[in-house]
Amino acid sequence: MGSFSALSINFIEILAYLFLFVVGTLIIWVAILYVVDKTQTESTLRRNFPVIARFRYFFEHLGEFFRQYFFAMDREEMPFNRAERSWCYRAAKDVDSTIAFGSSRDLRPVGTVYFVNTAFPHLDEEIQEPGPVTIGPHCRRPYETDSLLNVSGMSYGALSVPAIRALSLGAKKAGVWMNTGEGGLSPYHLEGGCDIVFQIGTAKFGVRKPGGGFDEEKLKAVAAHEQVKMFEIKLSQGAKPGKGGILPGVKVTPEIAEIRGIEVGKDAISPNRHPEIKSVSDLLDMVHYVREVTGKPVGFKSVMGHEGFYRDLCEEIAMRGEESAPDFITVDSADGGTGAAPMSLIDNMGVPIRESLPLLVDILKATGLRQRIRVCASGKLITPSEVAWAYCAGADFVNSARGYMFALGCIQSLQCNKNTCPTGITTHDKKLQYGLNPADKAVRVYHYAKNMEKEVKIIAHSCGVDSPRQLTRDHARLRMDNGKSVLMSELYPELGMDIE
């Protein structure tokens, strides 16, 4: 009994000494920080409130993670609110997406879309699914697909290896295409066996000569892959029109550097435009060149600024002939996403998809090119209502990046450009990638795509048509500032345009 008591006393003494050591160390550390803060001149707050002011930056950092859980209302957060993210998560997990009691969506703000239901919707057994859509009828190898929501451009570099693998596997299972983004074609894009759209950015990663310009042999090598179905020339991106892609040096690993043809650890900053493209004539020349070399459909991606660009493009096509036209145009929204871009561009530049998509479609209709050129809509379209709206506006396809990121498990922590993504999606830190299992997340990508298709079709069927691509502007109303709503067809009448 005595020895036990002595042992207890010794243990208590050890704990006491340990406590004193920790407290002493903490006091010394605080004293050091106090001296550092009081003598530095970079931060006024730290100089005036040494040590304590440091908590401000700590809490500001934590706020990025916690505000979405504790403080933001379901419909108020940006860039995506909790209700939108929750739908994506439920769809990806294939759990019940029904809700009870009533909508939490405010139907009063100007621009709110109301879909126009029919009095006599088709019975399930009466619905007839249309066939696939053909892209590039003048190509040696046209592409046919019936996909509704495809994986938008996200490069290997911006995204991690397990994220690319999961998207590739899930896209194949769902029957949708996957855009490589401007970082080139990696083995991980091909692993899942899905259809691939190879994006040619302004730096031409993956198909460039060391000094710049196309390497035709590399272009042919990419086209030789059966999975590569189309090529997309990237002119601009929604979050940063007028600025090339940015991959921070911390994310440029040896493998990424080899695929892109750049130096390890150095920032990869693409030119703000293709040096060869100075006019719509040059753009059509590049479209023709890539199409001739690859034999596959070629289009371009751009953000609408002044619509005069599209008018000039259609005039040039009218002079050259319909076969010279791009096979598709991807119109990106001013509120599109990115891994890294200046805030001045993210917040202020370009035209949002709500305005640019109807305008582009109308220009193509007015010039007789609507059936020749397919239109892909991209930019913040992650829920069924937004995707259905895009089809009402005239899109042939819808592409999404951030919707599929949510399917992978993205929590909108806003760490994409820092190599510190907590979900392993946009980081090359192996420890953070550990939690992202490609096989498991591929299933979620599949479910997200299929549940999106299911619910967009529910909207279409409620409007009285068999397919989302049969939706028109007569199937949607937009609320105006006078409290009333008008048909989208009245708000966006077809644009008249004279082309000689």
Phi then psi for 133, rounded to 5 degrees?
Answer: -100, 140
- Based on the domain organization, do 253 and 346 belong to the same domain? yes
On whether residue 212 sits in a domain, the answer given is: yes
On whether residue 214 sits in a domain, the answer given is: yes
- Based on the domain organization, do 76 and 150 belong to the same domain? no
In angstroms, rounded to a whole number, what is the distance separating the alpha carbons of residues 90 and 88? 6
Which pLDDT does position 78 carry in this prediction? 57
On whether residue 88 sits in a domain, the answer given is: no
What residues does 233 pair with on adjacent strands?
A: 200, 300
- Based on the domain organization, do 179 and 240 belong to the same domain? yes
In angstroms, rounded to a whole number, what is the distance separating the alpha carbons of residues 332 and 352? 8
- Based on the domain organization, do 207 and 60 belong to the same domain? no
Give the relative orientation of helices 308-320 and 353-366 as an angle to the nearest 10 degrees.
Answer: 30
| Contact partners, residue 455, CB within 8 Å, separation at least 6 | 91, 97, 384
In angstroms, rounded to a whole number, what is the distance separating the alpha carbons of residues 16 and 306? 72
Pairing mode, strands 268-269 and 246-247: antiparallel
In angstroms, rounded to a whole number, what is the distance separating the alpha carbons of residues 390 and 398? 7
Tokens at residue 177, please?
């295409």
| Contact partners, residue 167, CB within 8 Å, separation at least 6 | 151, 154, 159, 178, 192, 404, 408, 442, 445
Q: How far is CA 28 from the centre of its chain?
A: 48
Tokens at residue 496, please?
């008249």
Residue 166 near residue 445 (C-beta atoms within 8 A):
yes
The count of other CB atoms within 10 Å of the CB of residue 43 is: 15
The count of other CB atoms within 10 Å of the CB of residue 160 is: 27
On whether residue 335 sits in a domain, the answer given is: yes
DSSP notation for 48-105: HSTTTTHHHHHHHHHHHHHHHHHTS-TTT-SSS-HHHHHHHHHHHHT------S---S
pTM of the model: 0.83
On whether residue 105 sits in a domain, the answer given is: no
Segments in 242-279 forming alpha helices (H):
254-260
In angstroms, rounded to a whole number, what is the distance separating the alpha carbons of residues 434 and 188? 17
Residue finishing a domain among 82, 110, 145:
82
On whether residue 229 sits in a domain, the answer given is: yes
Residue 338 near residue 330 (C-beta atoms within 8 A):
no
- Based on the domain organization, do 70 and 147 belong to the same domain? no
In angstroms, rounded to a whole number, what is the distance separating the alpha carbons of residues 409 and 144? 30
- Based on the domain organization, do 378 and 241 belong to the same domain? yes
Residue finishing a domain among 82, 115, 134:
82
On whether residue 500 sits in a domain, the answer given is: no
| Contact partners, residue 90, CB within 8 Å, separation at least 6 | 96, 97
Closest listed residue to residue 202, CA positions, set 238, 240, 243, 164: 243
Would you state the torsion angle of the CA atoms of residues 106, 110, 114, 116, taken in this order, to the nearest 10 degrees? 150
| DSSP code for 419 | T
- Based on the domain organization, do 426 and 296 belong to the same domain? yes
pLDDT digits (tens, 9 = 90+) for 420-449: 888 889 888 888 888 888 999 999 999 999
Give the relative orientation of helices 438-462 and 82-93 as an angle to the nearest 10 degrees.
Answer: 110
On whether residue 52 sits in a domain, the answer given is: yes
- Based on the domain organization, do 77 and 196 belong to the same domain? no
Which pLDDT does position 133 carry in this prediction? 95
Q: Round to the nearest angstrom and report the end-to-end CA distance of the chain.
A: 107
Q: In terms of C-beta density within 10 A (0-12 exposed, 13-18 middle, 19 or more buried), how is residue 16 classed?
A: exposed
- Based on the domain organization, do 73 and 171 belong to the same domain? no
- Based on the domain organization, do 176 and 252 belong to the same domain? yes
CATH code, 200:
3.20.20.70
- Based on the domain organization, do 306 and 246 belong to the same domain? yes
Residues belonging to the chain: 500
Largest CA distance in the chain: 108
* Counted domains in the chain: 2
Residue finishing a domain among 65, 82, 99:
82
Q: Which structural domain range is residue 73 located in?
A: 2-82
In angstroms, rounded to a whole number, what is the distance separating the alpha carbons of residues 456 and 226? 30
- Based on the domain organization, do 303 and 413 belong to the same domain? yes
Which pLDDT does position 499 carry in this prediction? 40
**What residues in the chain have per-residue pLDDT under 50?**
75, 496-500
